[in-house]
Structure 1
Amino acid sequence: MRPAVLYSGCQDWARWVTTNPPQMLKQTSSVPWICARCTRQQQPLRRLLHTSSSRHDNSHPAAVRSKQPNTFSSIQSSSSKHNDHALRQIFDSPAFWSEFSQHSRASYMRRSHGLFQNKYLTSPEGFERFAQSNLRKAKKIVDQVLQAKSKEEYGKVVKQLDRLSDLLCRVIDLSDFVRATHPDRLIEAAAVRAHSIMYEYMNVLNATTGLAEQLEVALSDDTKLWDEEEKMVADILRRDFAKSAIDLPQSKKDRFVALSQEINLVGSHFSESMSPAKQYLTFNKSQLQGADPMLIQQYSNWGQVDLPTVGMPSLMALRTVKDPEIRKEIFMGSRTASRSTVRMLELLLKKRSELANLVGFESYLHMALEDKMLNHPSSVHNFLYQVSQENRSPMAAQLDQLRAAKAHAAGTANSTGSHIDPWDKEYYMTQVLQSTRSKQRRPDFLSSYLSLGTVMQGLSRLFSRLYGVQFVPHNTMPGETWNSDVRRLDVISETEGLVAVLYCDLFAREGKSPNPAHFTLRCSRFISDEEINESRERMEPIFESPEEASNDGMAYSSYGQKGGIMQLPTIALICDFSLSSNPRKPALLSFGEVTTLFHEMGHAIHSILGRTRFQNVSGTRVATDFAELPSILMEHFAADKDVLSLFARHYETDEPLPYEMITDQLSFEKKFEAFDVENQLTLSFLDQAVHSPAAAQAGFDSTAIYHAMQSKYSQFGPDPRGTCWQGFFGHLFGYGGTYYSYLFDRVLAKRIWRDVFKSGKERGAVTREHGERFKSELLQHGGGKDAWECLKGATGDSRLSKDADPKEKASVIGGGGLK
């Protein structure tokens, strides 16, 4: 169980969309679709904590702590061209990287400076010292909060609870990343132990009712001196305490804890052990005419083919096998989960319903939506309905293309009567797309203009133009990274110097997860002089100053701060790009991979610029249905002509990318975009329906509900009788009532792209004025300002005020469509 209140964690669930955005369901509709990382984000009541990690290095110009802006500006102007060149080379040139990283590669022979330059993490044993040190500080804060009596002491309660959250997250989030990523088994085991130490303490805190009681006393007092951020944090903490059964009688509280544990176990088991009713379907080779012979050979045995029912083999068969009856059989097998899988799903849904009822909610859906932008089921329904209406016309037009393809294959001129069965969809989509692709250049031709180094260079140039920050390569110290391929980039502001540290682990290697991801290892927070003085009193010899000790040796800045320092965000970016087998040839990215990298950087720039004083609302610490907006917005930038002109050049000739190649690619990718939207709508409605009060009713049948949602919202109609695909929809556990968020943020991003960045017209995507507007109205607030107010400020649309009618706002947004 992940405790309900005192753990907030990074919004790592958002990384999943970064890697495998929901539109991938269009391409892999037969595949059980789940990201294991999502399953760690189940408990809805974790906001008290967060993350962040980085270190201030006085040896680097970026870390100059002068309060004179011009000091850094002069340094920066003399080296910006060198940094820009080096940024490309450390990713594109193995020889350059080898020379650049010489002293970090000597880490096996020299004293470790600590993972992420955290001074505790120089050895496996250091993880426990790290946990115990932060645990001592946490216990002291709990005592102070519980003993608060005076007006002055109650005035500090929110800050203290936020600091408590930060201390716990420092250990848990960093350990969580290390245990999932580090190749050294000893370090991995040490991270697990550190995680357990803090995890057990959080269980104790969740039973400490006095924390919630003291917060209520603080809130009942005069809070006029609190700014908007502090009030937002207080409100978040109050809601989370209420959701965690803190006020219930002990018997119900015990049931809440037990249910939370059961939900986590059942949900994890559901998502990790999803299985089809039939593992294989057996065919004669002759029945699979049209399929790739290499695929058939791989699964052949004595003239028969044992085709797996789920995964890429069945999907490829659906796309290529000519016989519609065989396709139907494959479709049925790929859409039918085992009975045990469906039972496990329905058990999860029933337990969630009981949990929500226990703490006073009508359903788990009502509980999940309470703190979201669309904070009521009716608002979500209004939004989804509006998008559904907007999508009907393009969906009908794209469906006509499949009918025409089917009529052509049948040798008839009239496509009006052609009916598209569910097992026809992938087959005729493939036919149409292959016809379109044959008129274009080879897909890999575009990659020649998109080396990883040039794309990273382009991202830095874009952020410099929009927000006044750039990436500067920084040599790592021995022991600072988990692999010698990891590049460290310092994020440098034109006026403030170092504002974040970014670790880039972008190349594929054996044993590494293939899923791209964004992790915030330590987030922004103001560290007061009082905390620094505490560190001075018990400063360990591993630290050089109390400021360094107050942040475990990781990055901080004193620029512009009065009465303390800022701990700076430390971010890890994980991708799985293939290195070229030719050492003289850089890693070349597909346009899809470029879009993925831009998407991930959208999360990163949110973490970088959202440097709030409270870690509870720092960076991506926003409502779930607001978290994907910056990352999806970056996908628009990836396809913009002026943005591409910043970097897209042929790796051999340096010839700029002909933009018509991108327009051709976009046209190809959006050929059946309406199908993707319809699929997402159906799944979003399903997620809403199975988490509604219906889950508590006798005879609850998730299969009947899924088919009903298909009948109502899909122009393809329901799957055939006997299928139960919802058993493969692992994100019912991961999202739990908020799966609509991806569509919602797609619409919001489209609105921002149009209203703020002028859809890229007249260089709108690279104009500082537009970037500053988006930063000042939205990015820099993190979750410290109401999301609707951020949106209203960025778009200038007064109808989006937080005080406007929620249903009307949902309709306004949904009516904007995705076109």
Structure 2
Amino acid sequence: MLKLLRRQPWTCRRCLLQQQRALANRRLYYNTNATAGIPHNVQDYTVAGNEAAKRNDDNTLRMIFDSQPFWREFSQRKSGSSAGLLQNQYLTSPEGFLKLASVSLQKCQEIMARVLEVSTLEGFRRLAKDLDRLSDLLCRVIDVADFIRSNHPNPVIQDAATQAYAIMFEYMNVLNTETRLNDLLKRALADPEVTSHWSREEKITAEMLVRDFAKSGIHLPMEKKKRFVELWNSISAVGFQFQNGMESKINHLSFSKDKLRGMDPMLLDRMRRFTSVRIPIDGTMPNLALKSVHDEEARKEIYLASRKASNAQIRRLTRLLELRAELAQLTGYQSYAHMTLSDKMARSPEAVNKFLLALNSNNRQNTEKEIAKLDALKLEDYAKLGQGKPPFSPWDHAYYVEKYAARHDVSRKSRAISQFRSFFSLGTVMQGLSRLFTRLYGVRLVPKETPPGETWNPDVRRLDVVDESNNHLAVIYCDLFSRPGKNPNPTHFTLRCSRAISPEEVSEAALSSDIHPNDGMATGIKPGTNTLYQLPTIALICDFTTPSPNSSEPSLLSKHSVQTLFHEMGHAIHSVLARTDLQTISGTRCATDFVELPSVIMESFATAPEVLSLYARHWQTNQPLPEDMIQTMRLNHENYENIQGAMDNEAQIMMALLDQAYHDSSPLNLGFDTTQIFHTLYPKHATIADPVNSQTTWQGYFGHLFNYGASYYSYLFDRAIASKLWSNTFQDGKLATDREAGERFKNEVLRWGGGRDGWECVAGVLGDNHPANANGKLAEGGEDAMMEVGLWGLGQSRSEM
């Protein structure tokens, strides 16, 4: 399919870029060598080349996030007429969205007409680039419009963006059913006289498009195509109902107050109804009760009730799985899992299961150790009662984790822990990210003033990414503060991708003084070439506390929030450094079970002592984070890992195994029963599981089955790889700021986007001498490689400070 959005759904899924205007009158002028693709005035960063300017940029970066008065002054420096939203020359008014869509649609139709008439060898050799250009024209409208309609506060602009989105989305769907495009691509791929002249990127792009055409049922006869569309629409509708229809089978449970000893008495009084206390099953109350109620029988009753979804919800899930299985069968796949995994690193459900079972085996010894520690606490309780201890059960876990933490959690005993946030203001963390990127990759974040209308909200900060030679690499718009109506989910959007702009496009733009080859958005010359590129333009969305305008205290971040910001910046730096010629494979548009690797690695950087020394400073005194606080963080995390890290890992592994079990071909079998599968799988692989006769139906609460059908394993997979690379390449943090290690990771992983198989990236960064690379096994991928990654384990997990 031509619209390739290869991104991680819960955090990173979108794409945009921007170019500098040449003159104040908003006209572009080109030098006499127009075919070289070089505008006279590419943004000049030479002033940033001296050390004084770099220090000023570093200080400004902190101040624009930490000081409201400074930000107000900084944000008002650039005046004049609007350059357009995101500096897009069309988006100076709501009507501009329809103009952008109209112009882009016309260009798409011209390319489409030319492609469908191709008959010469030269025409076939241009095919991959032509289709990438076609995809780019779709994406430059769809991605921006999709982002703006969800994030702009003005309803008029939201509506205009929605209309532009609908126009291009409809045309994209037409292209995705155009059998002639699929036939031309297949013909080109089969001709050595064509492929021998293609770059690696062109060949990979063509192969991706053919795979996506196959998944869209392009080869089906008309009647089956009609059924294909019906199935997709039904899957979307039923999936939405499943995700948003979670409800418990039982609304509440009633207990005497004595049975709930351990819970807050004032809370119990608020829930009291006559002589009993009613515990609602929906919401957070069951979790609170499971952590605090002393009576095991009460905990058991609450636990089992909270794991029973309504019958209607289970029917929705069953229907969703049946529809997906039929869709896969219709398009010639053995199962929905086979269909989904065909373009992933995993390649097959058999390989995913090998990975998950190896990972579970690696994790099992630690889960048993954790349960043994908790079971010892349970033994103490029953010994005090003079009773024999029953086996450790699922409803015991949260209660005894809480009890263990009360004894051993350093953070609960340390007064200093309350001061941690004071060393992590948003400005110092952004400063730390820039310093880290400079040390690892030779790039930094430079605050940039914006003219009126460039951003969708006055709180948005623009950062330009600049390398050591002062080349402009990318634009990042940071929308990091909470506000009413804003989506609170942290997300990375790539609004326009890296792409080489052809000399023909530059010549076309030169013929009209009103047209910029990148719609006015950021461009730059690739070092060592005369090629003009559209630069990645990225938006980062977070929901950090907005500083009070009457207070000097900045937004202070928890450890979790720091890691979240590092995670999202991991996606951003992937988009920035993957400078590809074709946008189809740019940045995060790689295999979805590989896309989280850079961001998971970044979470480890966030709290490595070597990195903390770069940025953790008290917001008032500027004193560095004291060593005793660093040790407190480390001990607190170790305690978490020792008592629930492995069980948390196992919970994720079991969900991934269940996801695979649900997406095989069994939903088409008579008597398919999701509850039976759940109760067969968990006792076989989990350390503790719901009793088989309990009739729990927890699968009805597994909402990710909709968005991540057959690919829930992906985050675990990237965590396992990240753990290995953190250990090998960065030596568990000892080389966390080492340029050689950073360049290795950049050159083997980040710079490729989707232009290199993920297995080759992993093998390349580990090096030829690593045992996993023996006989090229890892680089080839497959089931053995997946199992190898499972045996690496998951390393450390994230935890809240």
- 1:78-477 map, 5 Å: 78-103=52-77, 111-221=81-191, 222=193, 223-293=195-265, 295-296=267-268, 299-300=271-272, 305-412=277-384, 419-437=391-409, 438-441=412-415, 443-477=417-451
- Provide the residue aligned with 2:709 in structure 1: 736
The letter for the 2-side match of 1:662 is: M
- Provide the residue aligned with 1:787 in structure 2: 758
Looking at structure 1, the residues matched to 461 and 748 of structure 2 have their Cα atoms a distance apart, in angstroms, of 31
Tell me, yes or no, if the aligned pair for 1:179 and 1:191 is still in contact at 8 Å: yes
- 1:688-727 map, 5 Å: 688-719=660-691, 721-727=694-700
Tell me, yes or no, if the aligned pair for 2:304 and 2:694 is still in contact at 8 Å: no
Is 122-131 or 628-637 further displaced after alignment?
122-131
Is 503-512 or 554-563 further displaced after alignment?
554-563
The offset of 1:226, in angstroms, is 1.3
Q: Does 1:565 align with 2:532?
A: yes
The letter for the 2-side match of 1:477 is: P
Looking at structure 2, the residues matched to 282 and 119 of structure 1 have their Cα atoms a distance apart, in angstroms, of 63
Tell me, yes or no, if the aligned pair for 1:369 and 1:376 is still in contact at 8 Å: yes
Pick from 714, 722, 737: which aligns with 1:749? 722
Q: Secondary structure at the match of 2:792?
A: coil
Looking at structure 2, the residues matched to 506 and 422 of structure 1 have their Cα atoms a distance apart, in angstroms, of 39
CA deviation profile, 1:37-79 (whole Å, cap 9, x unmatched): xxxx8xxxxxxxx73222326699xxx9899999838635331
Tell me, yes or no, if the aligned pair for 1:788 and 1:801 is still in contact at 8 Å: no
* Coordinate RMSD, CA, aligned: 2.6
Is 449-458 or 306-315 further displaced after alignment?
306-315
Looking at structure 2, the residues matched to 687 and 93 of structure 1 have their Cα atoms a distance apart, in angstroms, of 47
Looking at structure 2, the residues matched to 497 and 161 of structure 1 have their Cα atoms a distance apart, in angstroms, of 29
Tell me, yes or no, if the aligned pair for 1:603 and 1:631 is still in contact at 8 Å: yes
- Provide the residue aligned with 1:552 in structure 2: 519
Q: Does 1:639 align with 2:610?
A: no
- Provide the residue aligned with 2:793 in structure 1: 817
The letter for the 2-side match of 1:278 is: I
Looking at structure 2, the residues matched to 102 and 292 of structure 1 have their Cα atoms a distance apart, in angstroms, of 51
- Provide the residue aligned with 1:627 in structure 2: 595
Q: Secondary structure at the match of 1:362?
A: coil
Tell me, yes or no, if the aligned pair for 2:654 and 2:682 is still in contact at 8 Å: yes
- Provide the residue aligned with 2:33 in structure 1: none
The offset of 1:441, in angstroms, is 3.8
Looking at structure 2, the residues matched to 295 and 150 of structure 1 have their Cα atoms a distance apart, in angstroms, of 78
Q: Secondary structure at the match of 1:635?
A: helix
Is 312-321 or 684-693 further displaced after alignment?
312-321
CA deviation profile, 1:577-629 (whole Å, cap 9, x unmatched): 11345611111111111111111111111111112111111001111111111
Q: Secondary structure at the match of 2:554?
A: coil
Change (3 A) 1:70 1:267: closer
The letter for the 2-side match of 1:602 is: G
Q: Secondary structure at the match of 1:87?
A: helix
Tell me, yes or no, if the aligned pair for 1:606 and 1:630 is still in contact at 8 Å: yes
CA deviation profile, 1:364-396 (whole Å, cap 9, x unmatched): 011111111111122111111111111111111
Tell me, yes or no, if the aligned pair for 1:14 and 1:628 is still in contact at 8 Å: no
CA deviation profile, 1:380-439 (whole Å, cap 9, x unmatched): 111111111111111111111211222233345999955222111111111111222333
The letter for the 2-side match of 1:553 is: G
- Provide the residue aligned with 1:778 in structure 2: 749
Change (3 A) 1:578 1:298: farther
Q: Secondary structure at the match of 1:573?
A: strand
Change (3 A) 1:12 1:645: same
Tell me, yes or no, if the aligned pair for 1:256 and 1:358 is still in contact at 8 Å: yes
- 1:554-703 map, 5 Å: 554-560=521-527, 562=529, 564-581=531-548, 583-657=551-625, 658=627, 659-671=630-642, 672-703=644-675
The offset of 1:528, in angstroms, is 0.5
Looking at structure 2, the residues matched to 488 and 740 of structure 1 have their Cα atoms a distance apart, in angstroms, of 35
The letter for the 1-side match of 2:11 is: R
- Provide the residue aligned with 2:798 in structure 1: none
Looking at structure 1, the residues matched to 115 and 250 of structure 2 have their Cα atoms a distance apart, in angstroms, of 57
The letter for the 1-side match of 2:224 is: K
Looking at structure 2, the residues matched to 469 and 632 of structure 1 have their Cα atoms a distance apart, in angstroms, of 20
Q: Secondary structure at the match of 2:11?
A: helix
Change (3 A) 1:237 1:386: same
Change (3 A) 1:216 1:403: same
- Provide the residue aligned with 1:23 in structure 2: none
Q: Does 1:532 align with 2:496?
A: no
Looking at structure 2, the residues matched to 76 and 526 of structure 1 have their Cα atoms a distance apart, in angstroms, of 30
The offset of 1:215, in angstroms, is 1.1
The letter for the 1-side match of 2:794 is: L
CA deviation profile, 1:454-473 (whole Å, cap 9, x unmatched): 11100100000000110111
Pick from 491, 503, 516: which aligns with 1:517? 491
The offset of 1:696, in angstroms, is 1.5
Q: Secondary structure at the match of 1:566?
A: strand
Looking at structure 2, the residues matched to 130 and 304 of structure 1 have their Cα atoms a distance apart, in angstroms, of 63
The offset of 1:505, in angstroms, is 1.1
Tell me, yes or no, if the aligned pair for 1:444 and 1:590 is still in contact at 8 Å: no
- Provide the residue aligned with 1:52 in structure 2: 16
Looking at structure 2, the residues matched to 302 and 129 of structure 1 have their Cα atoms a distance apart, in angstroms, of 65
- Provide the residue aligned with 1:27 in structure 2: none
The offset of 1:325, in angstroms, is 2.2
- Provide the residue aligned with 1:488 in structure 2: 462
Looking at structure 2, the residues matched to 415 and 484 of structure 1 have their Cα atoms a distance apart, in angstroms, of 65
Tell me, yes or no, if the aligned pair for 2:506 and 2:517 is still in contact at 8 Å: yes
Tell me, yes or no, if the aligned pair for 1:466 and 1:770 is still in contact at 8 Å: yes
The offset of 1:357, in angstroms, is 0.7
The offset of 1:9, in angstroms, is 2.5
Tell me, yes or no, if the aligned pair for 1:274 and 1:337 is still in contact at 8 Å: yes
Q: Secondary structure at the match of 1:600?
A: helix
- Percent identity, aligned pairs only, is 45
Change (3 A) 1:416 1:73: farther
Is 673-682 or 120-129 further displaced after alignment?
120-129
- Provide the residue aligned with 2:31 in structure 1: none
CA deviation profile, 1:71-101 (whole Å, cap 9, x unmatched): 8386353310001011111111112112111
Change (3 A) 1:305 1:495: farther
The letter for the 1-side match of 2:709 is: G
Tell me, yes or no, if the aligned pair for 1:786 and 1:802 is still in contact at 8 Å: no
Q: Does 1:507 align with 2:481?
A: yes
What runs of 5+ residues in structure 1 fail to find an aligned partner?
17-40, 42-49, 541-545
Change (3 A) 1:803 1:758: closer
TM-score (structure 1 length as normaliser): 0.89
The offset of 1:562, in angstroms, is 4.7
CA deviation profile, 1:624-683 (whole Å, cap 9, x unmatched): 111111111111111211100001112222221122132123224323110111101110
The offset of 1:190, in angstroms, is 1.2
The letter for the 1-side match of 2:349 is: P
